[in-house]
Every structure is written in C-alpha cells, then in structure tokens.
Amino acid sequence: MTTLFISDLHLDPSRPAITDLFLAFLQRDALQADALYILGDLFEAWIGDDTPSAAADAVADALHAVADAGVPVYFIRGNRDFLVGDDYARRAGFRILPDPSVIDLYGRPVLLQHGDLLCTDDVAYQQFRTQTRDPAFQAQFLAQPLAARIAFAQKARDASQARQSEMKQGDRAQFETVTDVAPADVEAAFIRYGVDTMIHGHTHRPAIHTLHAGGRECTRIVLGDWYEQGSVLRVTPQGWTLESLA
C-alpha cells in the first residue's frame, strides 16, 4: 500500500531526459500505487489545452494508462500550468483538485497544495497570481490566437527570470526569504484546516519539517523539483519517505 506524490516536474522539450524519466516512473512505480497525486507545475508552461505538444500527448497517454489500470490520478494546478483545463484532464485521465485540498490519507487528514499561496512575502508574484487566476482574464487570454499566447507566456517567463536574477545578485538572504513560504501562513493553514500534516511543492526545497501550530506538533513535507532528477514522496500506512530518482 503506497500513495505517491510528485510536483514541479516542469516538463519541457529542452529536457527530454526528464520526460523520459517521468514516463518510466509512470510505467514502473505508478502502476503499483494506491493513488498518484501531482501537485502542480507538471509542465514548464501551459498556454491552453489546445497547445500542440508531442510530449504533452505522450504524458497524457501514459497518465491515462495509469488511471485505466485502476490507480486514481489527481492533479492540482501550479503557477506554471494553472491553465490546464478539463479537456487535458480527460485526455490524461486525472481529476483536478482545488488548491488547497484536504484528503484522507490512510485515515489521516492531509492538506495538499501547490505551495505558492504560502509565499506571501513575494508581493509582486501574489499580485500576478491574483490577476491570472481571474476567470475573466483566463477567458480573454485563451480566446487569443496561439501565437499571441506563446508570445505572452515567453514575455512573462523572461520577466520572471530577470527578476529572480536581479534578486539573487542583491540580498541573498532576502531572496531566500521571499521565495520560500511565510512561517505565519504555514501555521495559519494548519490551524484553518485542522490538520497536522501538509504536503506541497513550488519552493524546490525538498525537506520534511516538524513544527508546532495551534498547540499541536505538525509535519510539513516539501516536494522537490525534477529539473535534474526526480523527487517522489512515498506514503504508506506506516509513514513516509522522500526520495530522489536518478
């Protein structure tokens, strides 16, 4: 009995080896699991379900094969693929969950989320997030021709990379603080949802943290990214293991 959690794969044509690693993971590990949860940023960028992508097609087929084998697959949108919609969900055979969501994990309530909502010190990003999650904005964006959407996404990506580069060259400690979760928001999430376990990604800082919130000892598990290797959380009724895939 094992449930798998992954996040921040950032699949992209420029890193075909990572896509191959993920496809192998689906064919080997996922088929033996009780369930698979993907907590956002499956893709490096997603500008609509009509985006032509051989890699996305292969991933959809492989995910659907997992679901067809009787392993439920769940997906929470990330900051890179928040436009993944119902059409791709049907093609991939997964169910899209709200961000955040509380699930029953072997009798334990667990809070799942992508993780960007916890990074409230990054004010500029939170403003961008609010704008891009607005249904009117998304409808207007998706109505544009594919070329216009590609150009917008590239511009936003370049601006994000430039901003991060500038921050890294400045106060490194401030950069680490801004791009990580805000402790007060982590504590508030534990209290609000009444759980003592949280799993998220986004920060690319894989670790298992123990803290106190609301008078209880709590555990926050952070998933790693898949830029150079895989990161998988395996949970059984007996406990959890955060692993790397070469």
Q: Which residues are annotated as a binding site for substrate?
A: 79-80, 122, 160, 168, 202
* Cα-only R_g, the chain: 18
**Count of positions (residues) in the chain:** 246
**How far apart (Å, rounded) are the C-alpha atoms in residues 190 and 28?**
34
Distances from the Cα of 233 to the Cα of 89, 120, 160, 198, angstroms? 22, 25, 28, 12
Of 224, 44, 219, the C-alpha closest to 59 is 44
Cβ-based neighbours of 225, under 8 Å, separated by 6 or more: 7, 8, 9, 10, 41, 201, 204, 231
Annotated binding site: 8, 10, 41, 79-80, 114, 122, 160, 168, 202, 204
Q: Tally Cβ neighbours within 10 Å of residue 119.
A: 21
Annotated binding site for Mn(2+): 8, 10, 41, 79, 114, 202, 204
